């Protein structure tokens, strides 16, 4: 593990380009998602080695439910398979596993398999791996606003700070991402961590997600280490 480097506490990745990776090889899109699981494992293991405490991954957005049903089904099946395949690796590496998003839209089978893995890994402390599933930033802000409004109705004089609002988001208790990486050359936020990413550093790379492994991840951490974060102030 590198110790003299400015290591981000929380790295978040918009994993993009699986479909294009598969198409370039004349394969079905799902082959790109399957290959993408290897990149998930590579980045998770490298995060533990580098001392990154939170790695979060945008795996499936609220909007992704609108993809062809066959692809949605394949992605959910892959998620289910990955849960059982990766239990050992998560436990061996001391990784806590958490899924955040609109879990009501997941099948009961998937949701309970996730809950089981979350419980099994809840004592692990080396790193937290967060998978955003059926998540969108606007959905998160709305559900937080609704819950907060209910409490304010009971106490109309209550003053609310941004930190108070944080506690209603699904990411409550998780530090905001220091670095958000998006693969595949697209340069947009796509309704991801809209509130939490207010001061994140962004890194866009042309590398497609299935080709993003330890080496590319380390290069991203090196780039982050050179950034000068001022949070709107003067240094
Ligand atoms: C974006 O590529 C990728 C996704 C919507 C799915 C990401 C899912 C995985 C890597 C698999 C499982 C994840 C975990 C956490 C086990 P795209 O399909 O939008 O690619 P394209 O833009 O080239 O079409």
Is the C-beta atom of 30 inside 6 A of ligand 1? no
Sort 183 into a burial class: Cβ within 10 Å, 0-12 / 13-18 / 19+.
buried
For ligand 1, pick from 19, 113, 132 the residue to mutate: most ligand atoms within 8 Å of CB.
19
Task: Output the CA 230–ligand 1 centroid distance in Å.
Answer: 32
CA distance 34 to 68: 17
Number of neighbours of residue 124 by Cβ within 10 angstroms:
16
CA dihedral 63, 17, 180, 85 (to 10 degrees): 90
Q: Which pTM was predicted?
A: 0.95
DSSP for 72-83 reads HHHHHHHHHHHH
SS3 9: coil
What domains does the chain contain, in order, with CATH numbers? 10-136+176-223 (3.40.1180.10)
Digit-by-digit pLDDT tens for the chain (235 residues) are 445 679 999 999 999 999 999 999 999 999 999 999 999 999 999 999 999 999 999 999 999 999 999 999 999 999 999 999 999 999 999 999 999 999 999 999 999 999 999 999 999 999 999 999 999 999 999 999 999 999 889 888 888 899 999 999 999 999 999 999 999 999 999 999 999 999 999 999 999 999 999 999 999 999 999 998 888 888 7
Question: Does any ligand 1 atom lie closer than 6 A to the CB of residue 78?
Answer: yes
Is 64 marked active-site? yes
Cβ–Cβ < 8 Å for 103, 111: yes
The sign one gets for the Cα dihedral 137, 138, 143, 149 is: positive
């Amino acid at each position: 593990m590198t110790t003299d480097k400015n290591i981000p506490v929380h790295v978040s990745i918009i994993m993009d380009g699986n479909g294009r990776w598969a198409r370039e090889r004349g394969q079905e899109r799902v082959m790109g998602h399957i290959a993408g699981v290897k990149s998930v494992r590579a980045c998770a293991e490298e995060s533990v080695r580098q001392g990154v405490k939170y790695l979060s991954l945008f795996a499936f957005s609220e909007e992704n439910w609108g993809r062809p049903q066959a692809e949605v089904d394949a992605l959910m099946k892959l998620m289910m398979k990955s849960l059982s395949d990766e239990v050992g690796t998560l436990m061996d590496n001391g990784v806590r596993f958490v899924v955040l998003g609109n879990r009501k839209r997941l099948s009961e089978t998937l949701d309970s398999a996730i809950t089981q893995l979350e419980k099994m890994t809840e004592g692990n402390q080396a790193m937290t791996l967060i998978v955003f599933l059926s998540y969108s930033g606007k959905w998160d802000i709305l559900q937080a606003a609704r819950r907060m409004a209910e409490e304010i109705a009971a106490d109309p004089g209550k003053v609310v700070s941004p930190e108070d609002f944080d506690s209603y988001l699904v990411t409550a208790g998780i530090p905001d991402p220091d670095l958000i990486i998006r693969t595949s050359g697209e340069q947009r936020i796509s309704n991801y961590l809209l509130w939490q990413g207010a001061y994140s550093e962004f890194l866009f790379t042309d590398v497609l997600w299935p080709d993003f492994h330890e080496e590319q991840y380390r290069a991203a951490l090196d780039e982050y280490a050179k950034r000068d974060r001022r949070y709107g102030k003067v240094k």
